[in-house]
């Protein structure tokens, strides 16, 4: 599971992440509308906070490679219920 930060302010959390020549494919993804953190985005590595707001689930998201700013792994057990 990863959090993917995308250009223009989009932050997604996803179960699947596949990198290919043109970009990345995210599967079982949700957009993190409100982080709900007190210590920045990295706090979400340990799962959503009570104030985190997620958009509805999206089965497959294709993102051009030049739009991906950075990614980081999250604790799967902490995010499993939210995805």
Task: Judge whether 34 and 43 are in contact, CB under 8 Å.
Answer: no
- 55 φ, ψ to 5°? -75, 170
pTM of the model: 0.92
From first to last of its 83 residues, the chain has per-residue pLDDT tens of: 999 999 999 999 999 999 999 999 999 999 999 999 999 999 999 999 999 999 999 999 999 999 999 999 998 888 988 88
Cα three-residue angle 74-80-83, rounded to 5 degrees: 95
Domains and CATH numbers, the chain: 2-82 (2.30.30)
């Amino acid at each position: 599971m990863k959090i993917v930060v995308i250009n223009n302010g989009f932050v997604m959390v996803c179960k699947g992440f596949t990198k290919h020549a043109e970009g990345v494919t995210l599967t079982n993804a949700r957009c993190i509308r409100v982080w709900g953190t007190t210590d920045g985005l990295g706090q979400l590595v340990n799962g959503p906070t009570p104030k985190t707001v997620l958009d509805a689930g999206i089965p497959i998201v294709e993102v051009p490679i030049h739009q991906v700013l950075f990614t980081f792994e999250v604790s799967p057990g902490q995010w499993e219920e939210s995805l």
